[in-house]
Structures are given as structure tokens and as C-alpha cells.
Chain A
Amino acid sequence: MSSVFRILLRRLGISVIVLIGVSMLIFAIARVIPGDPARIALGPNATAEQVAAIRTEMHLDEPIVAQYGHFVTDVLRGDLGTSLYTNRPVTQDIVEFLPATLELVIFAGLLMVALGLPLGILAARHRARWPDHVVRVLTLLTVSAPSFVWAVILMLVFAFYLPLFPVAGRIDDSYEIARVTGFLTVDTLIAGRFDAFLDVLHHLVLPAVALALSGIGQAARLTRANMVETYDKPYIEMAQAYGFAPGRIARRYAFKPSLIPSLTIIGLDFAAMLGNAFLVEAVFAWPGLSRYGVAVILRKDLNAIMGTVLVIALTFLIINIIVDLLIAFLNPRIRHSTRAAT
């Protein structure tokens, strides 16, 4: 059994335990709510009989452990209850809104890696000289404002003053694209509409950059810090003594081992974007899960709140497992080891 596979099994085991914990936590949060969930569901004009009926239907008259049991069985069957806000099954709402958020988060994640790592390499190669200082100030600035501030600034500059990008939405209304996956970048290609695909990318740029900025800063800072440490290792000195080109040393010898410790944090940052998407979606009127989440929270729509948090936690765990596997795969010590990795 390969060690990468063993790590996958171990991670899945831990994730199941964590998911059980998350379900308890979400259940606990939902039960501290002041007031009677049945009355909240029915509104102020309900009669006592109606409240009693729905209490039975929601299992609220049973012991708390039994209530938790019902909650878990329902979740495992994919039944997250009905949303009071949309009057539809929460599962259906999530299937509708999650792809838009995921698409945004994935693009932001790609930007974070594509811009953050090279900036970090640049700073480490020229450490204690001006490129390093510039990158340090830039990265500190990007992590110093919440993504909604960046979203507003980017919108102001690149949508209002220089009308280069659209102000809101995922796609121009004039396109009619059949929904297959919910990911518009994929659906437009399936439909064979390349012009629509470009329009979707055009809409993605500003929200994705706003969401990615602080992650870009984090990734660059970490890469720099780890690479500076690697640069002090004897094998780098040897490579320099051999006269290898500085660029080659940076990319092939100093960067690769530094990537592994950075990746864990990059994974966490990636996952944190699921939270920050709440802010960016609000600014750019992005029809994703976060807008749904805020709407249901303001209406105290319990089923929808629990379902949304659960799905986000699940996505978060999946992203972290993927990152762990990537690390295991990139690290030759784990990839080639035959003993159990600890």
C-alpha cells in the first residue's frame, strides 16, 4: 500500500470524526437560539395548535439526543429541511447557489498561487534589496484590509473610473446558457459559446482579484520566509559554487523544498476564501451561496443556516484533504517511503 494512499485513509478517518464534531457544533448553535424554533417557523400569527403540530413534525418534543439523531439521519439522506426564505428544500437551494461561489473561490485560489508564489520567489532571490522591500510592503498592505474594502476599491477604479470590467453579476443578461454544472465557465464551453465564456471570465476578474488579494500576500510572505531559510542550506551554496544560474537555483533548488511547508497555510487560506466570499459577493451582487447565507441569517431561517454552514464545512474539509494529498505527493520523503508516515 503506497504511503500517499495511507495518508488519504488516515485523513479521511480524521475528517469523519471532525465532521461528526461539526454536525454537533452546528446542532448546538441552532439549539441556543432564543425563542421557539416552531414559532419562528410559523410566524407571529400561528395558533397554539399549529405550533404544537409543527413541534411534533420538527421533533422538538423529543429529548435533545433524539433530536440530534433525527438531524444526522436527515442530513445523511441529503435532506436539509425546507428553507423558510425560499420555501424550497435547502438542498435544492444549495445546489443552485454553491457552484457560483465555488467558481469564484477556485479562480481566486488559482490567482493566489499564480501571483503569490512568484512574488515570494522574487523577494527571496533579492532578499534585503529593493524588490524584497517592495514585496514586503505590498504583501503587508494586501493582508491589511478585509476583502470587501478591496472589492469596493477595485470596483471604483476598474469598473467606474476606468470602465474596463463589469460592475456586477456573473454574465451579461443577453446570453442564454443552458445550466448543466452551474459553473458558467464550464457551461458556456459545453454550449459551445466561446464569446459567452470570455464574458464570464471578464465578470470573474474583479471579484476574484478582490477575494485573492490577501491570500496572494500570505502566499508570497510564506514562500519568501521558507525560501530564505532554504537559501542558507549547504546544497544551495554548492549549487552556487558550481556556477548554476541564479534563476535555476531559485526555481529548482530553493523553491521546491520551500513549497511544501507553505502549502498547508495556502490550503487554509484557500479555504478561508469560502468565508470571505460572503463579503465579495455582497459587493459585486454575485448570485452565490454567500448571498443566500446572509439572506437566510437575517431571516433566522434555521434549516437554511445549518445547511449552508454544513456544506461550507464539508467543502473546507475536502479542500484540506486535497492539499494534504498534494503535499504527500510533492514530498519525496513521503512519496517514496514504504513505512507508515507519521
Chain B
Amino acid sequence: MTRALRILASNPLSLIGLILVSGIVLAALLAPWIAPFPTHNSAVIDFAHANQAPTARNWMGTDLVGRDIFSRILYAYRISLGLGIVVLVIATPIGTVVGLLAGYLGGWTESVLMRLVDVFLSIPPLVLAIAVLGVLEPTLTNAMIAVTVMWWPWYARLVYSIARSEREEGYVLAAEVIGAPTPHIVFREILPNCLPAIITKMTLDMGFVIIIASSLSFLGLGVQPPTPDLGSMVAEGARYLPDSLWMTVFPGLAILLAVFGFNLLGDGLREVLGVDE
């Protein structure tokens, strides 16, 4: 673990990623204490300070009803990161089990499961999530459901390709010869060899979940106002371009920073864990 951290820190880009991600996670966790205006995550109205460019009081300016954009971004990070964690914690095990079973068992299990995966993968991810949200009410929980529905097949495909090649390896054959039960072979023998790829993908995917979730709320299909979300903040501000550009530019940059951080970190992890691109 310490060795991995040292390797990670020796690459300047990965180090920047690590710093960005830790900073954003800390900021999100501590939002209620460090936000200059902790009440501005709700429907507060302060017309005296509405639509102001960045000042010493409001570092990133204020929105149309006078809420502090910096404070709202901190709260929005809580939503984005929380959503990312929930989606990955649910989607990863589902996809992993499907991929392991399809890859190891082969035969009709493989055909049925992988065709099912193909079905999900043949609708562009964002469109699938939009379609699911189209019939459910646009809320945070439903956004999580929609993104999870589109996410698990990617893990199924990744784990499937590894499991299929591991199936022929000596250690798997040896386990079969001594009569190890299938669950043991799948979860105790093959799964550990898929973990580096899964962990790398999860890190990179935190970034992508943030992108997808903010895209949904940008379209008005995700988290609903007054709860702050980076995507809806950009959408709201975009109506007042180019005059009130801080309303759009800062939330946009906030997305960029977070995703950039996870990408840099994921890239570094890939090298540490020796995962192929």
C-alpha cells in the first residue's frame, strides 16, 4: 500500500490527480462547515446580492436569487460523489458476477448473458439513462437507478474478457482437477485476477458517472432544484450568457476539475496495478 502510494506520488500527473481527488472529497465532506453560506443549498433568496460577479464576499459570484455559487458547488460535489459511489457500489458487483459466470461457464450461459449485455450496450449510455428517467420521475434516486441500469454491462464485458482468458490458465485447470466447487473457482481463483482492472475502471468511472449525472441534470432530468447540482447550475447560468458568465463557468470548471482528478488518478493506478488500456 505504501509502496503503491510512493509509485503514484512519483508521477507528477498522478500526484496532481491524487491531490485534486482528495481535495474535492474533503471539500464535499466538510461542506456544511467550510461553505461560506451553508444555507445556500436550499431555496434561500437574497435579492440584495442577486446576480453579482465574483467579489470578496462571494468568491465565485452569486446566482439569480443571490445564492453563493461557491457554497452551492461544494454542496453539489456531495451529490455528485454520493451518486457516483452508490452507482458503482451497485453496478460493479452485478456486472462482475455476470461477467465471471459468462466467462467461466461458457456455453449457453455465456451466449444468453453476453447477448443481454449487448442489448444494453447497443443503446448509447446517456440515451438509455434518459429513457429510464423519461418514464420515472426525475429525482436523485431515480437518476441513480437510471445510471446504474446503464453502467453494469460495462463491468460485465470487462470481467468477461478477463475471465474467459483466465479460464484456460494452469491454476484454474489445477483447481478443477482437484475438484474445487465452481463458486470457489469463480470467486476465489478468477475474481482476484480481475480486481486490478476493476479497481482501475472504478476510479476512472467515478469521473464518468459525474459526467453522466451532471448531463442528466443539465437536461433537467436529474436532481431537482433547489438542491444544487453542477449540471443544472450550468444549464441555469447558460441562459444568461455572455453577461453573467460566472454562473456557468465556475460550475463547469468544477465538473472539469473533479473528472480530471479522477482520470489522472485512474491513469496512475493503471500503471501501479499493471492494467492494460
Are A and B interaction partners? yes
8 Å CB contacts to B: which residues of A138-153? Answer: 140-141, 143-146, 148-149, 152-153
Report, nearest first, the 4 A-B pairs whose CB atoms are least far apart: A275-B126, A21-B119, A275-B124, A297-B134
Residues on A with beta carbons closer than 8 Å to the beta carbon of B118:
14, 17-18, 21
With a CB–CB cut-off of 8 A, which chain A residues contact B218?
Answer: 146, 148, 279, 282
Chain A residues within 8 Å of B, Cβ to Cβ? 14, 17-19, 21-22, 24-26, 29-30, 32-34, 136-137, 140-141, 143-146, 148-149, 152-153, 155-156, 160-161, 221-222, 225, 271-276, 278-279, 282-283, 293-294, 296-298, 300, 302, 305, 309, 312-313, 316-317, 320
Selected A-B contacts with CB under 8 Å, 14 pairs:
A14-B118, A18-B119, A21-B118, A22-B123, A145-B255, A145-B256, A146-B214, A222-B277, A276-B215, A282-B218, A297-B133, A297-B221, A302-B135, A312-B124
Question: Does B122 reach chain A (CB closer than 8 Å)?
Answer: yes
Residue with the highest number of chain B CB atoms closer than 10 Å, among A19, A156, A273: A156
Report whether B130 and A33 are in contact in the complex, using a CB–CB cutoff of 8 Å: no
Given that A21-B118, A22-B123, A146-B214 are known contacts, is A152 also in contact with B252, CB under 8 Å in the complex?
Answer: yes
A67 smallest CB distance to B (angstroms): 15
Partner of B126, one of A140, A272, A300: A272
Over the window 108-140 of chain B, the binary record of Cβ atoms lying under 8 Å from chain A Cβ atoms (1 yes, 0 no) is 000000011011101111111011111111000
Q: Does B94 contact A (CB under 8 A)?
A: no
> Is B15 at the interface (CB under 8 A from chain A)?
no
Q: Smallest Cβ distance from B137 to chain A, in angstroms?
A: 8
Cβ contacts under 8 Å, B260 to chain A: 140-141, 144
A120 to B92: give the CA distance in the assembly, Å.
31
Residue numbers of B with Cβ under 8 A of A are 13, 115-116, 118-120, 122-128, 130-137, 207, 211-212, 214-215, 218-221, 231, 234-235, 238, 241-242, 245, 248-249, 252, 255-256, 259-260, 263-264, 267, 277
Residues of B within 8 Å of A146, CB to CB, are 211-212, 214-215, 218, 231, 255
Bound CA span A294–B217, Å: 12
| Complex Cα–Cα for A271 and B13 (A) | 30
Asked if residues B13 and A137 are in contact (CB atoms below 8 Å), the reply is: yes
Q: How far in angstroms is the closest Cβ of chain A from B233?
A: 11
A22 touches B122 (CB 8 A): yes
Which A residues touch B277, using CB under 8 A? 221-222, 225
CB distance from B143 to the nearest CB of A (A): 13
* Chain B residues positioned under 8 Å from A221 (CB to CB): 277
**In the complex with contacts A271-B124, A276-B126, A282-B219 CB distance below 8 A:** yes
CB proximity of A134 to chain B, nearest CB, Å: 12
A171–B257 Cα distance when bound, in Å, is: 35
Q: Which of B118, B123, B218 has the most CB of A within 10 A?
A: B123
Give bound CA distance, A148 to B259, whole Å: 14
Contact A309 B123 (CB under 8 A): yes
Which among A279, A282, A305, A316 is the interface contact of B134 at CB below 8 angstroms?
A305
Q: Are B234 and A141 in contact (CB under 8 A)?
A: no
* Complex contact A152–B248 (CB within 8 A): yes
Q: Which residue of B lies closest to A133 (CB)?
A: B13
A25 with B119, Cβ < 8 A, contacts A272-B124, A275-B127 known:
yes
Chain A residues with Cβ under 8 A from B136's Cβ?
A: 32-34
Q: Report whether A160 and B124 are in contact in the complex, using a CB–CB cutoff of 8 Å.
A: no
A contact residues around B132 at 8 Å (CB)? 29
- Whether the Cβ atoms of B241 and A152 lie closer than 8 Å is yes
Q: Which of chain A's residues have a CB closer than 8 A to the CB of B259?
A: 143-145
